Amino acid sequence: MMSGVMNPMTPQQSRSQVVDAARQVVATLGLEVVEAWFWHSACNSRGDPPFRGHMRIGYPLAGSYEAANAQITLMAATLQRAGWSADPTFHSHAPALKNNNVIVILRPQDPNAATRGVEILGECRDMTTTIEGRGPVQPVNLS
């Protein structure tokens, strides 16, 4: 088992951390939210604590992959003006930005998905949630 983290969060705090960040991202980008999902995600393959809050926001597809890319580049720039910045320790093939220790990833357009995705990852500080007890993926109302 993990021996613990500094400054643990409650499951509710870890949920609020990403839901608040999601609201901020949606407002900053003026995103039209088609769907939004929250879940507690284990910060390892084993399903052991710590857990983090995790979200996926679905917004409408662009006309093409290229158009989506152009928009995503603009979205990243907009977020940077709003205080989000690159995190050199976080490796991703998609644009990833950090603010108050929350990571936002702007996923590319998936030809097989009904929406485009923005992913939000909170901090790995929730030592209370268990993999068995975390429950199903929850829809979130961001409006």
Partner 1 sequence: MTLGPGDIDRWDAEQVRAVARAARSRAESASAVSAALRQLPVIEAWSGLAARAARVAIDLTRLALDAHAEESRAVARAADRAAEEIERVKSRLRSLDSDARAAHLIVDRVTGTVIPDTEFQGNSAQFATAADPILIRLSGILADATAIDDELARAISDTAIGLREPNAAVAAAGPEERKAWWGSLSRIAKDQLLERNPEALGNCDGIPAADRSRANVTVMARDIDRIASIAADYGVLVDDVAGEPERFGLSTTDVVRYTNAQRVSEGLDYTQSQTGTEVYLFVYRPQEFGGQGRTAIAIGDPDHAGHTAVVVPGTGNNVANGWLAHSDDATNLYAETLAATGPGPGVSVLAWMGYDAPDSLVDPRVSQTLLARQGGALLAADVNALNVTHHGPTHVTVVGHSYGATTVADAAAGHRMQADDIVLVGAPGTDLARAASDFGLPAGGHVYVGSASTDPITNLAGMSGRVPGVGFTTEPIGLGADPAANGFGSTRFKAEVSGWTLGSWGDHEHYFDSGSESLFSIADIASGHGAALQEHGMTAAHRDSILGPFASRLGLPDWSIPILDPELPRPATSGHYHHPRPSAGP
56 lies in the binding site for partner 1 (CB under 8 A): yes
Site membership for partner 1, residue 53 (CB under 8 A)? no
Does position 67 interact with partner 1 (CB under 8 A)? The reply is no
Least distance CB 29 / partner 1 (angstroms): 16
By CB under 8 A, residue 107 contacts partner 1 = yes
**22 neighbors 36 (Cβ within 8 angstroms):** yes
Least spacing, CB of residue 90 vs partner 1, in Å: 4
Nearest to 40 by CA among 15, 64, 21: 15
Q: Confirm if 87 and 96 have CB atoms less than 8 A apart.
A: yes
Contact criterion met (CB below 8 Å) for 14 and 123: yes
Is the peptide bond prior to 88 cis by the omega test (within 30 degrees of 0)? no
Binding site for partner 1 (CB under 8 A): 1-5, 35, 37, 39, 41-48, 54, 56, 58, 65-66, 69, 72-73, 86-96, 103, 105, 107-108, 110-117, 119, 121, 131-132, 136-137
